């Protein structure tokens, strides 16, 4: 009689894990595509660049060339897409997920582990200021209320976008010079960035340090922990 509930729980957890990891993997691929094609997108299709890869340098480069509403809406959505997914990974799979952080994050993971009992005091500013994958996962593992997590995450993201928007406006002239250079050398620069991204992905895979490999390790850690 005791084994049946465990079996039911196990069968309900497995599809949930796949539903979390699959979109994260898609976001990793999209980010690599955006980085590889950035010179071809930044001038002619800046919103596509934001949708694929809203990293800091891209936010600054397109700030003066994209209207405020799509900049903030698309930028916020893209920056936050993976955060709830890692939060839910921590929420549903706390201990095995945290072991994965220990293995993947090195000294940062050990710092989080060591500060676990103090995280309730520091978690709010961390989620607001630096909602990276590990912080979001830790927030879920510590059972931060979902509504609080989303409010802090959105607030911090909007502040971040505002700062990069201001930087882009303040340095519009030098940024325009950079964009003009990219436009004149678009094909050459795209070939360089594609080569660099492919080489980096191949090197990371060879070392077992790639993001997709990390997700596979996380899946193995979680699945191995289940009865």
3-state secondary structure the chain: CCHHHHHHHHHHHHHHHHHHHHHHHHHHHHHHHHHHHHHHHCCCCHHHHHHHCCCHHHHHHHHHHCCHHHHHHHHHHHHHCHHHHHHHHHHHCHHHHHHHHHHHHCHHHHHHHHCHHHHHHHHHHHHHHCCCHHHHHHHHHCCCCHHHHHHHHHHHHHHHHHHHHHHHHHCHHHHHHHHHHHHHCHHHHHHHHHHHHHHHHHHHHHHCCCHHHHHHHHHHHHHHHCC
Q: Can you list the residues of the chain whose pLDDT is less than 70?
A: 1-15, 105-121, 224-227
pLDDT value at residue 3? 45
pTM, two decimal places: 0.84
pLDDT value at residue 116? 61
């Amino acid at each position: 009689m005791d084994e049946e509930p465990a079996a039911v729980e196990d069968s309900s957890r497995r599809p949930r894990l796949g539903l979390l990891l699959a979109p994260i993997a898609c976001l990793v691929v999209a980010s690599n595509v955006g980085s590889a094609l950035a010179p071809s997108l930044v001038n002619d299709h800046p919103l596509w660049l934001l949708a694929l890869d809203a990293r800091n340098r891209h936010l600054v480069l397109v700030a003066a060339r994209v209207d405020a509403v799509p900049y903030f809406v698309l930028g916020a959505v893209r920056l936050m897409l993976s955060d709830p997914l890692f939060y839910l990974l921590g929420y549903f799979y706390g201990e095995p997920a945290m072991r994965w952080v220990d293995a993947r994050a090195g000294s940062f993971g050990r710092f989080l582990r060591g500060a676990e009992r103090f995280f309730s005091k520091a978690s709010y500013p961390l989620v607001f200021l630096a909602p990276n994958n590990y912080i979001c996962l830790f927030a879920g593992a510590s059972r931060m209320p979902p509504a609080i997590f989303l409010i802090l995450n959105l607030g911090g993201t909007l502040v971040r976008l505002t700062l990069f928007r201001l930087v882009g406006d303040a340095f519009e002239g030098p940024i325009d010079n950079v964009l003009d250079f990219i436009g004149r050398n678009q094909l050459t620069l795209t070939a360089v960035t594609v080569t660099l991204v492919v080489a980096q992905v191949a090197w990371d895979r060879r070392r077992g340090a790639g993001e997709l490999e990390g997700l596979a390790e996380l899946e193995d850690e979680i699945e191995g922990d289940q009865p």
